[in-house]
Structure 1
Amino acid sequence: MVRNNVQLNVTEYLDNVYGVQFGVQHPVTGTTVWGTYCPLDDALWSDFHAQAIANAVCSQITGVLPYALLASIGSTRSYSFLPPPDVRRDMPAVLSRLDCGIVAGGVPANISLCSAEASEPLPMPPTLACIQYGDWTNKLISCQPKLFWLAPRLGSVRLVGGANSSYGRLEVINQETLDRGWGTVCAPGFDQEHAQAVCRDLGLPWTQAAVLPASAVPQAPPSQLIALDDIYCRQHWWPTADVHPPLSFARDCMRIWQGSLLRTCGYDADVGVACSGEVIMPLPPSPPSPVYGGYGGPPPPVYGPYGGYGGPPAYGIYAQS
């Protein structure tokens, strides 16, 4: 059942990190007005409602990653990949209500299944409360295969550089250094429990997860950020039941010394993870081919059909004695 005609304008600022604008049809002109979502009802400011909207966005734009990690960014902070703070601050509101937590059976397949109300007037200048408490111009989404009820400490995790998606160099987006994008992990204390947590976060097999030496995966370029150089993980209690969920690397782990620029390791200690327990090690480089001719060596021998060097002997009246 379609409940609204709200449109999405999704920008992928970093790999699997999205910003969202909403489009609403103007009742008089019929044109689409683009802007942000700024709820007027205090009950809709909750993390639950924001998470439900983000899940619906991920379900719509990916089809296969229906859950979202939400990251709030500072409304006055500049980021190289985002519009300037004053542009984000002045973004008009086009929605005063967007409730995606009312759909039975799980995550809505798209935003059109959510309950929505357009702002009045349309567009509406952003209110002070909306700016202070973080409207959707100051939220980023990373789409995932599993649900995170609690706000993650990291923005997202991925494995890169392997021959397949089940292993590679571990990279994360650290909310502390969000403006620098994806970074490596070189934490000396990273062990199998952490590797299993990474694989669970990615929806991959995790029971046989293993930590790989840095030599097993391609080294990151020198210009890339080291996002985590020493880690601390703290598990949380599940909010709806008296149980202890498995460790999540994205949700539960962080850099120990937040704000410090000191590094305890470098790229030669980058963490690699194998989720299946099987790793296709990179082949050693092939030896260089020999160089012939005028570029550094003698020409190869040329054999004719009669076995002589250079071609068959010359017979007949044109042969030289």
Structure 2
Amino acid sequence: MEFGIGMFGDLAYSGQSGKFRPAEQRLAEMVEEIKLADQLGLDVVALGEHHRADYAIASTEVMLAALASVTKNIKLASGVTVLSSADPVKVYQDYATLDLLSSGRAEIIAGRGSFIESFPLYGYRLEDYDALFSEKLELLLTVNRDKTVSWRGKFRQALQEQEIYPRALGGRQIPVWIAVGGTPASIRRAGILGLPMMLAIIGGTPAQFGDHVEYYRKIYTDSGHSLDNLQLGVHSHTFVAASGSSLLSDYFPSYAAQMDRVGRSRGWPPYSRSQFEAGVSSHGALFMGEPKEVADKIIKVSKMFGLTRFIAHMDVGDPGHEAMKESIALFANEVVPAVKKALQGS
């Protein structure tokens, strides 16, 4: 089982200045945080793409390329590439370049996107949301597999015997995961294609996603793929604190503020402390608390689903650089060893 961290580059908002924290400051901090994750032996980092004032990363590939020069072992993944509003050929070229820079550590976690700002930004119709993703995923997988491509679709200019360069390190295929939030069509697509699936569990309880996992496994095997090759990950909001009281006093306000910023655009009610406490509970979807509490929840969910990867998404609300470093260190030094020990003994 692999363990990683996820980040979107959240930017805290200052009521005094009426501005978000400078993006350049947060990006520099993220480099230091991911260097630390690499030094502590975590397996993967997944960075998300957003096009809003409250997030620092719009160009995930550029940020991952910067990380390639300051890390040695950690896999460098998008989390997610909003493929519906991207050009698959350019996505492949960017990640093939990243793969060469990082000695074969690039990965793509592709999704339709839970935020929609990229669609008008790049000139796509939201009505074509799923059709765009389906077609562009087909092209991405084709380009990933074949150096010379002939292809025709509905939304993009056709390719005729077109050679695509550069190629990934040693001619390998870049690992491509499908990110899903529980939509049956997305789960079915991942299973039919035999692609690894990354399940985002943000709200409710992890147990509610059991049917989704079983559906994926069924479609995967019915499509002729061996369970020996199945890869399944969970990506969830995570924060590891030295004490539960500090989690509530220091982190909850930042987390709630970001959830409210997102929620206002989606018609959600204000995020409450009771919601947070329910999420942090042993049955909730927030992997937050003291190291043992976080480890116990990951162990439970891993055994429930048969996970091969867990991504701890840590920077929701921009909790601060020192708090982030402490959370990463606690996760790597205490949570991960406890999970590995428990799973090896099960």
User: Scaled by the length of structure 1, what TM-score is found?
Assistant: 0.27
Q: Greater RCO between the two (CA within 8 Å, min separation 6)?
A: 2
User: Scaled by the length of structure 2, what TM-score is found?
Assistant: 0.26
Structure having the larger proportion of residues in strand: 1
Structure having the larger proportion of residues in helix: 2
Tell me which structure has the larger Cα radius of gyration.
1
